[in-house]
Amino acid sequence: MTKKGSTAKSMVYDIPKFWVNLDALVDSSNMNAIETIITRVFCMQGSLKFHFWLLDIIPAAIKRISNSNHHPKTWIEQLAIDIRSSIGKGDSATFHSSQYLPGLNFHSEYKMGPQPFRFDDRKILTSIMSSTIRMWLGFPADQDALTQLTLLEIITSNSPISILFLDTVWEMFKNPFATIFKKGRDIRRSLEKLSQTLDTFEEQFPSHPFATSDSLCYRKLQHLSDLIQKWMESAGVDSNAAEIASLFLTV
């Protein structure tokens, strides 16, 4: 109506409503941007947390069942015993999630092929247990996902956690082969090349300004961490990563 030069009172009376609500609209836009960034962090930090959880519980279960006097008390200990028994026999085996975790909403089965005899079976036992539980619990098992987690582990172990709030890190997480690695297709086709490239990245990243404590970039990340902490406290949000992940899962 304004483009037509209208002076109708009904239109004129609505103009003040726009100005009254303008600040609220700007605040809403800013909040949407913050919520988007926090959701990204939830995705990355949650993925990493559950990855670390799996890396922790499997070796612990294997250590417990290696004690000849230990009787299985948990589902993961029973799984470890059953997989170890199948490995020792050299048989194929199928492990149904319903037998160990009957409360899961969706059940699946992991099929293990015959394994060659090894005096020390801990490495293969760890690998099969990891593959089994990842399948049961819906963990992404593709090459991209494992690369994402490895990169996140490297950068978060060398930089303030606020680095996850950067757009460039989110872009890395979404598509690591297009943002981090040159000739991504060649690397993706070769597990050996990918492993070597990740090792090189792990060696070199500690010298990056994001990971060098006396650099301006690092100090900016620390300042960003302080601002995030203050914002979360004022907003009543628990900054603990595990609590954040659990809140996200209930949405």
Q: Are 142 and 208 in contact (CB under 8 A)?
A: no
Per-residue pLDDT tens over the stretch 40-98: 998 999 899 999 999 999 999 999 888 767 688 899 999 999 999 999 888 899 999 99
Look at residues 103, 136, 169 and tell me which one is the last residue of a structural domain.
Answer: 136
* Residue 186 maps to a domain: yes
Same domain (yes/no): 196, 222: yes
Same domain (yes/no): 128, 177: no
More reliable by pLDDT, 102 or 232: 102
User: Is this prediction's pTM over 0.85?
Assistant: no
* Residue 165 maps to a domain: yes
pLDDT band for position 250 (50/70/90)? Answer: very low
Same domain (yes/no): 169, 90: no
Same domain (yes/no): 152, 234: yes
By C-alpha distance, which of 96, 63, 54 is closest to 81? 63
Determine the structural domain holding residue 127 and report its residue range: 57-136
Same domain (yes/no): 119, 165: no
pLDDT band for position 23 (50/70/90)? Answer: confident
Q: Are 43 and 249 in contact (CB under 8 A)?
A: no
* CA R_g for the chain: 25
pLDDT at 146 over 70: yes
More reliable by pLDDT, 176 or 95: 95
φ and ψ of 112, to 5 deg: -105, 130
The pLDDT of residue 240 is 55
By C-alpha distance, which of 124, 62, 58, 53 is closest to 87? 124
Same domain (yes/no): 150, 233: yes
Per-residue pLDDT tens over the stretch 199-234: 999 999 999 999 999 999 999 999 998 988 887 788
Please give the Cα distance from 216 to 214 (Å, whole number).
7
Q: How far is CA 226 from CA 46, 162, 216, 220, 251, in A?
A: 21, 9, 15, 10, 26
Q: How many domains does the chain have?
A: 2
Same domain (yes/no): 98, 148: no
Q: Is the dihedral of CA 234, 238, 244, 250 positive or negative?
A: negative
